[in-house]
């Protein structure tokens, strides 16, 4: 089984080598690693040339943002499952892709939901939050809650049938995508109960109040547009659930 891994980056010279090394060191052989760069102006592409010998496809060109680049990536993919490992992220160890494949072969699910660890951006052995899909069920999407995006491995056929990331949601398109796949179109899913990705803490919506408000509204609008029962009061519940991530599992 071929697994496609899409890495999206822009001016990621400080972290991209960790991402490339973690894919290149996987003990599973049939990996298609695709890198989509948004025309970086730092040393990102030089590092990619030096450390990305295993990469199957690389493009570097301007884009319309993160989700536009992610759409480019899955459209280039040829693997049975597609996952996204961004330039701030890396696999937890060298066996992660093999575990994903073994789980896919035994469960036959359309979507595999792995766990992630959100780590300190400098001290990467320091786990700040545990983000598990263990208790996820589709009803939580009504609350605006989705399983961890970097832990999702999705059949490519779902993208081809139901479309990719909707650019009308600049912050919440990953939520909208999984809501369409799992809630609206009843794709099957199963939980892979191991941390497969370490994700550096940060990003626009992590500590930015205005961005959090905008994401909240995008999640609400996505649910309304997809015909998913919801309300702003209901979506507020997701923040109480997220608080559990700060406690070890």
- pLDDT by residue for the chain (249 residues), tens digit each? 999 999 999 999 999 999 999 999 999 999 999 999 999 999 999 999 999 999 999 999 999 999 999 999 999 999 999 999 999 999 999 999 999 999 999 999 999 999 999 999 888 888 988 899 999 999 999 999 999 999 999 999 999 999 999 999 999 999 999 999 999 999 999 999 999 999 998 755 555 789 989 999 999 999 999 999 999 999 987 776 665 554 544
pLDDT digits (tens, 9 = 90+) for 171-214: 999 999 999 999 999 999 999 999 999 999 875 555 578 998 99
CA nearest neighbour of 35 among 27, 155, 47, 198:
47
d(CA 190, CA 107): 7
Q: Which two tokens stand for residue 103?
A: 């789980």
Place of tokens 């320091």: 126
Domain that holds residue 101: 3-246
Q: Return d(Cα 145, Cα 220) in angstroms, integer.
A: 11
- Provide the domain count of the chain: 1
CA distance 191 to 15: 28
Supply the pTM of this predicted model.
0.92
pLDDT value at position 203? 57
CA distances from 126 to 16, 18, 49, 131 (A): 19, 16, 30, 14
What pLDDT was estimated at residue 246?
47
The CATH number assigned to the domain holding 178 equals 3.90.550.10
Distance CA 186, CA 236 (A): 24
């Amino acid at each position: 089984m071929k697994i496609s891994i899409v890495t999206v980056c822009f001016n990621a010279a400080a972290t991209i080598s960790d991402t490339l090394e973690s894919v290149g060191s996987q003990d599973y052989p049939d990996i298609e690693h695709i890198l989509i760069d948004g025309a970086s102006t730092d040393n990102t592409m030089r590092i990619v040339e030096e450390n990305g010998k295993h990469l199957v496809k690389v493009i570097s060109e301007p884009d319309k943002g993160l989700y536009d680049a992610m759409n480019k990536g899955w459209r280039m993919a040829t693997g049975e499952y597609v996952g996204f490992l961004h330039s701030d992220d890396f696999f937890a160890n060298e066996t992660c892709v093999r575990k994903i494949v073994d789980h896919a072969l035994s469960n036959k699910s359309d979507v595999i939901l792995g766990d992630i660890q959100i780590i300190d951006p400098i001290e990467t052995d320091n786990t700040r939050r545990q983000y598990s899909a263990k208790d996820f069920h589709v009803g939580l999407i009504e609350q605006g809650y989705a399983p961890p995006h970097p832990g999702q491995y999705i059949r490519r056929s779902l993208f081809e049938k139901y479309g990719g990331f909707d650019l009308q949601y600049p912050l919440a398109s990953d939520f909208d995508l999984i809501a369409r796949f799992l809630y609206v179109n009843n794709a099957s899913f199963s939980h892979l109960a191991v941390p497969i990705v370490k994700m550096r803490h940060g990003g626009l919506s992590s500590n930015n109040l205005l961005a959090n408000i905008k994401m909240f509204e995008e999640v609400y609008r996505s649910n309304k547009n997809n015909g998913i029962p919801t309300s702003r009061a209901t979506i507020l519940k997701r923040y109480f659930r997220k608080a559990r991530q700060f406690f070890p599992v």
